[in-house]
């Protein structure tokens, strides 16, 4: 019998299709759909697969208003569950105005001629996150895609940014604001102006691929029953730079900042934990799970290794899995 991670909550945002087509990033949708599948698989991370615990936004659903509504939903869930462990994952463009210091996350409904008022200011994103009273909160921001994910292996043109803006990872001052309080951890997929790269097969980003490996025990020890923050940090800090160099001949170094003790982020292998043989004993199986998850992404994702059809979830409607209220 699998052990559900009953207090796990996740809000996953992969902007994907932009109202301004030249700014679209389809790979972000693959990332969040794959991550959703792994988190809700009862034989893996075992988050409850229902609208009280999981929300997914992408494509036309990933609007500025919907992102803020989702953060308000997390605030409400955490206020009624003092044991909540929350994961917020944003994958999309993130652009900095070096003159003003303003940083913007770019939602689906951005208006290029009025970006400052239609984009999601990172300070508003941060303020909403700080209202969430969870004692265990992990925020992952993958926001440097302009040259990395946009042209690698899929033929997208180099994205031309609005005048005065540059691609940049989440600035340190915003990370410092975010991690204030108990139980906060902030991860970014790269540092400064480094790009986030996708794998040559186009399946997903390098960062998400290794995150999913870590969630399956890649940095855990035999007998471990939980995946912890430290497992994710140790594995991502080692594997992402190595893969970026090997696969893309580029530099990509993840960043981590925490104001918390190490805490469990999910159960490991449905509560069975890592066997005596460690990661070596399950790596082939884990790789096959990732392959199947990727194959399901973009269609109607099915939780691999379980009898749960994710299309039956009340939070998913339509061919694009866009949340409807």
Chain segment 56-112, per-residue pLDDT in tens: 999 999 999 999 999 999 999 999 999 999 999 999 999 898 999 899 999 999 998
- Number of other CB atoms surrounding residue 263 within 10 Å: 17
In a domain, 323, yes or no: no
SS3 for 181? coil
Chain segment 245-275, per-residue pLDDT in tens: 999 899 999 999 988 889 999 999 999 999 9
Q: Residue 299 pLDDT more than 70?
A: no
For 165-179, what is the mean pLDDT? Answer: 81
Q: How is residue 261 written in tokens? A: 């003790």
In a domain, 270, yes or no: yes
In a domain, 324, yes or no: no
Residue 196 contacts residue 206 (beta carbons within 8 Å): yes
Angle at 3 between CA 52 and CA 311, to 5 degrees: 45
In a domain, 258, yes or no: yes
Chain segment 9-34, per-residue pLDDT in tens: 999 999 999 999 989 999 999 999 99
How many structural domains compose the chain?
A: 1
Closest by Cα among 124, 26, 50, 32 to 87: 32
- Number of other CB atoms surrounding residue 249 within 10 Å: 8
How far is the C-alpha of 294 from the C-alpha of 215, rounded, in Å? 16
CATH of the domain at 157: 3.40.50.1460
In a domain, 222, yes or no: yes
CA dihedral 267, 269, 271, 275 (to 10 degrees): -120
On whether the pTM is more than 0.75, the answer is yes
Can you name the residues that pair with 205 across neighbouring β-strands?
198
Closest by Cα among 117, 7, 16, 25 to 65: 117
Residue 58 contacts residue 29 (beta carbons within 8 Å): yes
In a domain, 144, yes or no: yes
In a domain, 92, yes or no: yes
Average pLDDT score, the chain: 85
Helix and strand tally (H, E) in the chain? 9, 12
In a domain, 1, yes or no: no
Which residue range forms the structural domain that includes residue 170? 8-312
Lookup result for tokens 């700080």: 130
């Amino acid at each position: 019998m699998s052990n559900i991670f009953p207090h796990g909550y996740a809000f996953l945002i992969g902007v994907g299709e932009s109202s301004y087509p030249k700014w679209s990033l389809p790979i972000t949708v693959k990332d969040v759909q794959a991550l959703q599948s792994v988190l809700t698989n009862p034989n893996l991370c075992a988050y409850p697969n229902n609208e009280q615990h999981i929300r997914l936004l992408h494509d036309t659903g990933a609007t500025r208003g919907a992102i803020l509504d989702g953060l308000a939903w997390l605030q409400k869930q955490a206020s009624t569950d003092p044991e909540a462990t929350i994961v917020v994952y944003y994958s999309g463009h993130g652009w900095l105005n070096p003159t003003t210091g303003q940083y913007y996350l770019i939602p689906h409904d951005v208006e290029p001629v009025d970006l400052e008022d239609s984009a999601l200011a990172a300070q508003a994103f941060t303020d909403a996150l700080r209202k969430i009273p969870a004692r265990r909160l992990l925020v992952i921001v993958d926001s440097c895609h302009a040259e990395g994910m946009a042209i690698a292996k899929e033929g997208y043109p180099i994205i031309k940014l609005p005048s005065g803006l540059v691609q940049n990872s989440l600035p340190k001052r915003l990370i410092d604001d975010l991690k204030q309080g108990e139980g906060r951890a902030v991860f970014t997929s790269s540092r400064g102006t480094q790009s986030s790269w996708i794998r040559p097969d186009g399946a997903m980003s390098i960062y998400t691929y290794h995150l999913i490996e870590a969630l399956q025990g890649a940095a855990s020890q035999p007998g471990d029953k939980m995946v912890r923050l430290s497992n994710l940090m140790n594995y991502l800090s080692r594997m992402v730079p190595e893969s970026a160099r090997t696969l893309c001949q580029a530099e990509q170094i993840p960043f981590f900042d925490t104001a918390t003790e190490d805490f469990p982020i999910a159960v490991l292998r449905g509560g069975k934990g890592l066997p005596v043989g460690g990661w070596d004993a399950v790596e082939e199986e884990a790789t096959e799970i990732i392959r199947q998850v990727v194959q399901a992404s973009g269609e109607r994702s099915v939780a691999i290794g379980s009898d749960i059809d994710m299309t039956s979830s009340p939070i998913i409607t339509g061919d694009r899995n866009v949340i409807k209220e």
